[in-house]
Structure 1
C-alpha cells in the first residue's frame, strides 16, 4: 500500500483525535452510549411519534461520534422524534435533559474504564514519537471531558504539546464538531497556522470540521468500515492503519544548522555577481526590532541610510502587515517599493498603489468587524485593535493572560461569521484577513510580477524573521537567497532559508556588504 507522508517542510504540527485514532476508547464510548440510550428508550412510555428501537453502531457514527456529549444526547434523541431541554451543567445524572443524560453516560464510561482499562493503538504511538523526533508539534483533540483521564491511564499524556478537550471547550464556549473551533484552538496554542497543520480523524464530523477549518492535510483513519465515508466527508486521504503514515525526509535545516551570512559573505557575493538582485525585506523583526507596543516600532537610522544607498543600485521592496501609509511613514526610503497589508497592496517609487483585486471584496466585512471588535474587546486592558486597509489585527501582547482566550474567541467568532474573512495567528496577535489563498510566498511572486522583476537574470533576496516567512523562503529556494533573521527563542524550528543573521543589526551589516558589492567595492564598508 502507498505510504502517506507528512512533510516537515509544509506540516509543522499534527492534531490527533483521541477516540478511535490514538486509543481504542471509541468502543468504550459506544458501549456507554448504547447502555444509556437502550435503557432510556426502554423505560420511556411508547409514542406513535417516537422511535424506541435499540441504539445501533450507525446511530453512534452519525449522531454521537466526535461530538460533545450533550450535543450527542440531543442529536440522537431528536433523530428518534424526542426533544429534550439542554438543561444546565449542574443537572444530576439521569435527569431528562441533555446535561443530565450526558452525565449518566459519563458514569457508565468511567465504570467501563475501571473494568477494562485503556487500549492504545501501537501504530499511533509510533507515529507520534516519529513526529516528535522530527520536531513536529503534536496535539490531542477530544470532545470528551475524560480526555486527561484516558491519556493518563494510557500512559501517553507526555507525547502531546497541547490538549483541547471537553473541559477546555466548555470553559472557552467553543462549539463542538463539525465546527472547527477545537482544532483552531489547538493550532493557536501551538502557534501554528492551520495551513501548516495536519488533522488525523476517524469520525465524519471531525473530518468535516478539519476541512472547513482550512487545514493543510486532513487524514482519515478507517480502522473499521468503508473509507468512503471519510473521503465523502472531505478527507484528503484515508488509511486503514497509521503504520501507513510516515514523516518525509526534509531538505530544510534546523536554525542552528543554517550558515551565518556574515561568516559566509564570500559565498553570497559569488551568487550575486553578474546578477540583478531584488531585495525583499520584511519590516518588524527583520529591519526594525520588535517592540511591546507596535506603535513604537521605528527603523534604525543606520538601516535607513543603507536602504537609501541600496535603492539607488537595485530594487528594494519593504513589506509589512501595516498599511502603506503607516509603513512609508516609518521607513521613509524614497526610492523603495512598499508592500503593505501582508502584500495585498503595492506601491512603486513615485507611482500609484496597486491593490490585489480579490482582497478588495473583503473591505465591507473588515469595516463591520472593526466596529464590532471595538465594542467587544476594544476596552480590554492591554489589547490593541489595529486596522489597516486589508487587515484587522488584535494585539494582546500586553493583555492579562486570563483575558487572552476570551479575546481570541471573540475575534474568531466575528471572523467565522463572515465568508470574505479568515482568521490568522502571529506573535501575540490574531488577525482578520481577506479569505483568499494567500501567503508570503504567493505575495512575493505577485509583487515581483507587478513590479516587472521576473527576468531570468534577477536574483530575489528575501529576509524575514517569522515562521510565516517560510512560505517566502520556500518560494525562492531554487532561484534566490533566503536570509532568516533570528530574534529570540526558535527551538527546533526548521527553515528553508539559506543563511541566517543574529537580529536586525546584523542584517543591516549584511546589507552594507551588498551595497558595497553593487557599487564595485570589495571592502564591505560604506564611505
Structure 2
C-alpha cells in the first residue's frame, strides 16, 4: 500500500521561483505522447516481423514509457527503448524522413503521430496545477516551464497557459543551445539562469524519474515529485525531496498556513457582501454534502428539510447536483425535476429545457469498465465488507466496512486491476477507491461546461461549489480560476483548494437556507 504522507512544508517565502515540467505536471499531454510512442513502436515491430521474421517484446505503455521514454528528448527515447530490445540503428540526422529506419527517422515518425493526436484530441491542463502556479505568481515568485518536447510552446498556447511563465525551455531551445536532455541538469539550470534566480533559491516540480534526477543535479533547493504513475519510491530514489499525488496538496491557503479556513456560515455576511447584486449559481455534491456519509451508498437518503431548501433555491437561481453517483440515481434520490443533474463526476448531464450532455468518448470505455468490474468482483469476493458498485462510467470499491487488516489487500487488488487496464485511472475518496475512464474530464470541467451551457458565464453570476471529497477538489480549483467560491464540508484540518468551509451537512443546510432567505428577500 502506498505510504501516506503529510502535507509538505513548502513555505513560499523560502523560494523566489518555481520551475515546472510541462507534460504530466502542467498538462495531461503525457498521455498523448505515450499513445504516440505506442503507435510508433507497434508499427515498427510489425514492420520488423514482416521484413525479417524477427520480433521483439511489444512496447508496454506503463513500464517501458516510464523506464525508457518519459522526460527524455525524442531521439534519446527512441534509442533507449530500442537498445532495451537489443536493436541498434544508425542515428541519422534530424532531417531524416519519417520513413527512414534511423533513430531520427523513427523519432520524426513519432512526432507525426503526436501531431495527429494533438489535432484530434487536444490537450487538457491539470486545474490544480494552474491554480497553484497562479497562487505563487500572486505571491511574487517567478515561474518557468521546461520540457524535452519541441511542442511545448504550441501546447502552452493551445491551452491558454503561456502567460503563466516568465521563461520556457523546450526541445527546440535544447537543440539550438546544445543542452543535454534529462537526466542531465542542463534545461533546469538554463531555466534558473533565465529567471536570474540561483537554483538553490528555487524549487522544481517533475513527474518523471529522469526529470527529478535532472532537477536534483541542477542543485534546486527543493525537488517535488508528482506521482502520476504509482512510482513514489522511485521518484524519491532518483532525487525527489518530497512526493505528492497532485499540486492541490501545495496550494497555499489558510489551512496550509496553520489557520483554519474561514467558516462560511459564521462569515455569511461577508459572503453576501462579496456576492453583492450578482446571482449565485449553486453546484452541490451529494454524498457527504447534502447527506451524511453512511455505511452503504443506498442508505444516503435526502431529508425533507434539505429537499425543501433546494426547491426554494431552485426557484431563485440555477442549482446543479454534481455527483459521482449515476445521474439517474442521484436525480431519483433528490427528486426535484427543476434542478440540473451531473452524474458520474460530470460524464452524464441532464436538466430542464432539454439540457443533455454525455461526454462524447465515454462510451468507448464501457468494455474496459465491464472487464474491470468482473475482475474486481472475482478477486475481492473473499474480503468481507467490500462492496463493488458499478456505475455507468465508473466503478466504486467501498471499503468502509472492511477490517483494517484487509484494506491493503483491497488497495493492492484495485491497483493491480488498474495497471492491467491502462484505459482506466484510479481515484479515491472517503473509504472508497474508484476506477474511471482515463479522459480529460472531471467535476471542475463539468462545472465549466454547465456555466457555458446555462449561459451563466456572466459578470452578474457568481458560482458557488459545495463538496466534501477528493473528487470535489477539481471543482474547488475551478472556482479559484474564475473567482467563484469553494466550500469544503468537513474537518477543518483537511488540506483543500476551497476558500471556505462548513463543518457538516447540518451547516450546509443552514448556509443554503440563509442563501435562500436572502434571495427571496431581494427578489
Normalising by structure 2, we get a TM-score of: 0.54
Q: Report the 3-state secondary structure (helix = DSSP H, G, I; strand = E; otherwise coil) of the residue aligned with 1:346.
A: strand
What is aligned with 1:388? 391
Q: Report the 3-state secondary structure (helix = DSSP H, G, I; strand = E; otherwise coil) of the residue aligned with 1:494.
A: coil
Q: Is structure 2 residue 202 aligned with structure 1 residue 244?
A: no
- In 1, the alpha carbon distance for the partners of 2:434 and 2:461 equals 33
What is aligned with 1:519? 520
One of 480, 486, 489 as aligned partner of 1:485 = 489
What is aligned with 2:422? 419
What is aligned with 2:411? 408
Shift of 1:322: 0.5
Shift of 1:513: 1.1
Contact map agreement 1:4 1:245 (CA 8 A) in 2: no
Q: Is structure 2 residue 504 aligned with structure 1 residue 503?
A: yes
Q: Report the 3-state secondary structure (helix = DSSP H, G, I; strand = E; otherwise coil) of the residue aligned with 2:311.
A: helix
- In 1, the alpha carbon distance for the partners of 2:415 and 2:456 equals 37
Q: Report the 3-state secondary structure (helix = DSSP H, G, I; strand = E; otherwise coil) of the residue aligned with 2:411.
A: helix
| Structure 1 segment 310-459 matched on structure 2, within 5 A | 310-349=313-352, 351=354, 353-459=356-462
Q: Report the 3-state secondary structure (helix = DSSP H, G, I; strand = E; otherwise coil) of the residue aligned with 1:515.
A: helix
Contact map agreement 1:253 1:495 (CA 8 A) in 2: no
Contact map agreement 1:320 1:340 (CA 8 A) in 2: yes
Q: Is structure 2 residue 253 aligned with structure 1 residue 262?
A: no
- In 2, the alpha carbon distance for the partners of 1:276 and 1:2 equals 39
Contact map agreement 1:348 1:451 (CA 8 A) in 2: no
TM-superposition CA deviations, 1:323-353 (whole Å, max 9, x none): 0111112111221101100111111126364
- In 2, the alpha carbon distance for the partners of 1:240 and 1:271 equals 47
| Structure 1 segment 39-118 matched on structure 2, within 5 A | none
> 299-308 or 343-352: which moved more?
343-352
Shift of 1:521: 5.5
Structure 1 274/196 Cα, relative in aligned 2: closer, same or farther at 3 Å? closer
Contact map agreement 1:343 1:447 (CA 8 A) in 2: no
Contact map agreement 2:216 2:223 (CA 8 A) in 1: no
Q: Is structure 2 residue 202 aligned with structure 1 residue 226?
A: no
TM-superposition CA deviations, 1:264-290 (whole Å, max 9, x none): 221111222321211001111111100
Pairwise CA RMSD: 4.0
TM-superposition CA deviations, 1:70-95 (whole Å, max 9, x none): xxxxxxxxx9x9xxxxxxxxxxxxxx
- In 2, the alpha carbon distance for the partners of 1:225 and 1:514 equals 54
Shift of 1:5: 5.9
Shift of 1:499: 2.2
TM-superposition CA deviations, 1:370-416 (whole Å, max 9, x none): 12222221452101000111100111111122322222222222222
What is aligned with 1:175? none
Q: Is structure 2 residue 474 aligned with structure 1 residue 471?
A: yes
- In 1, the alpha carbon distance for the partners of 2:255 and 2:515 equals 25
> 346-355 or 312-321: which moved more?
346-355
Structure 1 3/241 Cα, relative in aligned 2: closer, same or farther at 3 Å? farther
What is aligned with 2:122? none
What is aligned with 1:494? 495
Structure 1 520/405 Cα, relative in aligned 2: closer, same or farther at 3 Å? same
Q: Report the 3-state secondary structure (helix = DSSP H, G, I; strand = E; otherwise coil) of the residue aligned with 1:253.
A: coil
Shift of 1:471: 2.5
- Structure 1 gaps of 5+ residues are 12-61, 64-78, 82-192, 198-221, 523-527
- In 2, the alpha carbon distance for the partners of 1:423 and 1:508 equals 31
Structure 1 328/350 Cα, relative in aligned 2: closer, same or farther at 3 Å? farther
Number of residue equivalences: 318
- In 2, the alpha carbon distance for the partners of 1:497 and 1:265 equals 16
Structure 1 360/241 Cα, relative in aligned 2: closer, same or farther at 3 Å? same
- In 2, the alpha carbon distance for the partners of 1:350 and 1:500 equals 33
- Structure 2 gaps of 5+ residues are 1-14, 26-66, 69-83, 87-127, 133-179, 189-205, 225-246
- In 1, the alpha carbon distance for the partners of 2:516 and 2:187 equals 59
Contact map agreement 1:283 1:318 (CA 8 A) in 2: yes
- In 2, the alpha carbon distance for the partners of 1:423 and 1:195 equals 22
> 312-321 or 401-410: which moved more?
401-410
What is aligned with 1:72? none
What is aligned with 1:235? 211
> 244-253 or 383-392: which moved more?
244-253
- In 1, the alpha carbon distance for the partners of 2:453 and 2:183 equals 51
TM-superposition CA deviations, 1:9-56 (whole Å, max 9, x none): x99xxxxxxxxxxxxxxxxxxxxxxxxxxxxxxxxxxxxxxxxxxxxx
Shift of 1:472: 1.7
- In 1, the alpha carbon distance for the partners of 2:343 and 2:262 equals 30
